[in-house]
Amino acid sequence: MRVLMVSDVYFPRINGVSTSIETFRSALSAQGVAVSLVVPRYGDEAAAPGVIRVAARRVLGDPEDRLAHYGKLRRATLKAAVDCDVIHIQTPFAAHYAGLHAARALNKPVIATYHTLFEEYLQHYIPWFPATLLRGLARRFSRGQCNALDAVIVPSSAMRTRLRNYGVTRPLHVLPTGIPANAFEPGEATRFRVDQGIAPNRPVVLFVGRVAHEKNICFLLDVVARARRCLPDLLFLITGEGPAQKDLARRASELGLDGAVRFLGYLDRRHELPAAYAAADAFIFASRTETQGLVLLEAMAQRCPVVGLSIMGTADILEAKRGCRIGPDDPAGFADVLLQLLNDPLARAQLGDDARSYAREWSDQVLAQRLATLYQSLAR
């Protein structure tokens, strides 16, 4: 079976969508599904088999993303779709319309993965626009796009409920991104601490993700500030990049966290990121808009216990209460839960072992098999 995925984002742009595409693409090959991609060109990326790069321009005020030339994206998608069995759209911008056009022109089945909760996401970037009106527009936009497809994939049951409430009538399939086997290869925790100049016994908490306002990192800064009253040595590592970094650095200084918070930027996913997870005593996460929260499972795969808010997509992972502690949605209560874990090495070790075992249940091969079955049902 041949599948064409079309997306407005892909590596070298690092985010959850890029990771999901690559994880499924790799795992699907073992299921007899060959996946080709049509994605933007970011610079001078080397040619890669099955990856079609389309000319793109920079986005004003956003150095990370690229906006593909729509005419070229549409033509490339139409050409690549001729020999495919299913078209799979990964993002709701130019890629959505290019994929939909190709599907209609060639009479091919078309599906999309709804990765991002735009209803909550957009208000962080258009704060001057009335929030109620913005949410209504986002719901209408999403409903129209989803109902134009043959089926929609959502990464969590919470997203399925949200889209049903929007009025989406097309079939909705809950299918999260899985964890590849290499995520379980032990990270070099000792080397990471040495390289970062962190003492072996210093307590460390970690956040991994886009450094953006919708990730609710400011909440975590408040948590760390409160936790340091009882654990003065506590260090907070923030891995990733994004538009909120200057604001967060300013807030950290206001909270007296100079020297207690480090922004590490992007880390190499193959070696450095697993080492960071392994070196941390806990992974902390407070996003209220996640559609899945893949980083929670990545942390668990490295025996790093999670303390997080169980809201939206993260609930599917955290509500099993394995390898994690669920924190309340207030900084003081969250800090108390975190301190209980950090001050109990035995419980932390036991939770880490359970986390690793639980993460294995989210195997990329198991989830890729489910996606392959869905593709086959649509192509009949």
3-state secondary structure the chain: CEEEEECCCCCCCCCHHHHHHHHHHHHHHCCCCEEEEEEECCCCCCCECCEEEECEEEECCEEEEEEECHHHHHHHHHHHHCCCCEEEECCCCHHHHHHHHHHHHHCCCEEEECCCCHHHHHHHCCCCCCHHHHHHHHHHHHHHHHCCCCEEEECCHHHHHHHHHHCCCCCEEECCCCECHHHHCCCCHHHHHHHHCCCCCCCEEEEECCCCHHHCHHHHHHHHHHHCCCCCCCEEEEEECCCCHHHHHHHHHHCCCCCCEEEEECCCCCCHHHHHHHHCCEEEECCCCCCCCHHHHHHHHCCCCEEECCCCCHHHHHCCCCCEEECCCCHHHHHHHHHHHHCCHHHHHHHHHHHHHHHHHHEHHHHHHHHHHHHHHHHC
Where does CATH 3.40.50.2000 sit in the chain? 2-178+363-379, 181-362
pLDDT at 269: 87
Please tell me the least confidently modeled range out of 75-79, 149-153, 288-292: 288-292
Pairwise pLDDT comparison (152 vs 120), residue with the higher score: 152
* pLDDT > 80? residue 239: yes
**Using 50, 70 and 90 to split pLDDT, how confident is the model at 128?**
low
pTM of the model: 0.85
Class of the CATH domain delimited by 2-178+363-379 = alpha beta
pLDDT at 121: 59
Q: Is domain 181-362 annotated with CATH 3.40.50.2000?
A: yes
Per-residue pLDDT reduced to its tens digit, 269-315: 889 999 999 999 999 999 998 888 899 999 999 999 999 999 988 99
* pLDDT > 70? residue 127: no
| Mean pLDDT rounded to a whole number for the chain | 94
Over residues 44-64, the mean pLDDT reads 90
* pLDDT > 80? residue 129: no
* pLDDT > 80? residue 118: no
Over residues 167-194, the mean pLDDT reads 96
* pLDDT > 60? residue 244: yes
pLDDT at 313: 87
pLDDT at 251: 98
Per-residue pLDDT reduced to its tens digit, 1-15: 999 999 999 999 988
Provide, rounded to the nearest whole percent, the portion of the chain with pLDDT above 90: 87
* pLDDT > 80? residue 119: no
* pLDDT > 60? residue 124: no
**Using 50, 70 and 90 to split pLDDT, how confident is the model at 41?**
very high
